[in-house]
Chain A
């Protein structure tokens, strides 16, 4: 295969070749980096929550009338919810897992704000909280009903015992047994760890580690409102929630229901930013690849039709149809190779900038290799049909002058 006429043909239309190569380079940089980011976002969405959130829902309500009584409201609501067919367990909670709302704080392994510390989210609940959450105890025990502090006017009540997740325990007592240890809040109030559970996600607020959760034995409701968390039999969460919403509103008119959502809804909300980013990235990347592919196709077709005299001459001096096809495919391959080469540098540069500017992890080179392969394949495939059409130019074209 003689490469000289191919190269000279390219050099004659330098600018055109450069432009196509540039397009390919940018397409590669976009494809690889976008795919990488999408991979990360999917991983974030797939991160285990540690909860059977498909089978859980929460109702948020608050009292507003003068004769509203939080303890009796909570008690009657709990009684009703627990009696509903299909409900496995129900508890009042101080924050809804995966909802993004709730309290947080700092715990210290030693008094006086010393020692290891960890940011955590609070989850006030009663003795049925563990079963409602579906949390698995791996050490210690659950709260006893007598340990649950009744509701009080006190805004920020201290609790003597807490149950923590594994992550929180490790953060406070790395390499040691956390069970039975005493931890302190910012006000130096002591709390004993009586139980450790497998990790699950708490309310997931901004800036707080999602798996650092502390269960606290108290009825929440200091702001006049409260949440009920309900766990149902598989597949029935939506239906039971709707029924519960209707019934609860009717049963007690001293309070109003703010909203009722399944935990599926909250998970979706939590994931929405990542999901939308992934959708955008996939859409734009697909468009770029399509435009590049169509561009190569269009340009090659056009070039072929411009150079019919040259093709005819090639055929007249003895080139077979196959040789004509190879010539154009080789021309295209050189441009694609050039584009991919420049594109690799561009891709790595963009990947580096993304990791520096936005704290993303460094680009995985496996993605780069896959991207190169895909783009080279697309680039060549785009020129395939026009190259085949070039082969059908008859040799007689060589002699025609008009």
Chain B
């Protein structure tokens, strides 16, 4: 699904050169649930931006869904983001003056879908996250956890192959955090690849693989393992 080889990204200002990613290599197979963890400043955000096609990289090869992204134009990258990727951010990033329905609608609009198809997708996504009854509400009328679930609905409405979640539970209390993680696992079981970026090791353990980044380099990348049925968020996963 996602194949990065020797990716490097350098931020240059007049005085400083920051090597945010160095010789970064990673492979994520389709259907996996992968965590990318590391301390602050380790390059997780840069990884997310590059992997999510939000930023370009300097050297290396990046194949997403079998396609070499370095050759893509900005328009093609936008289309890829729209069709193949779903984003979930720490700060929900819902548009405040659109209601829930219209928020989930946003990525579908850029795909030029017909109204009927959009409607069915939005309804299904909101049903999955359990907020179908709140379609006409504004984000300010929802709790933090509910807002994040809307963001998840938005991310899956377009049936992306890959979802990037950036600290999805960072602003939530433990109960809401568990709901969100449960949802992510559910989505993963349905076949979507998930890459979770976090600094919380507890969270990282719920994934099948945990990739550590320090200073832009992959430190360890243990081989994938099968998930045990019946585990829950409170318990820690072995390995």
Contacts and interface: CB of A to CB of B under 8 A. Distances in A.
Interface residues of B, number: 2
Contacts of B171: 402
3 contacts: A401-B91, A402-B91, A402-B171
A401 B91 CA distance: 9
Interface in B164-191: 171
A402 B92 CA distance: 9
State the main secondary structure of chain B at its contact with A.
loop
Interface string B91-111: 100000000000000000000
B155 to A, nearest CB: 19
Q: Give the size category of A's interface with B.
A: under 10
A303 to B, nearest CB: 20
Contacts of B91: 401-402
Interface string A368-402: 00000000000000000000000000000000011
Nearest to A402: B91
Nearest to B171: A402
A401 B144 CA distance: 13
Interface string B120-147: 0000000000000000000000000000
Nearest to B92: A402
Contacts of A402: 91, 171
A402 B171 CA distance: 9
Interface in B28-59: none
A353 to B, nearest CB: 43
A401 B92 CA distance: 12
B91 to A, nearest CB: 6
A187 B50 CA distance: 97
A401 B89 CA distance: 14
A401 B90 CA distance: 11
Interface string B191-203: 0000000000000
A308 to B, nearest CB: 15
A402 B144 CA distance: 10
Contacts of A401: 91
Nearest to B147: A402
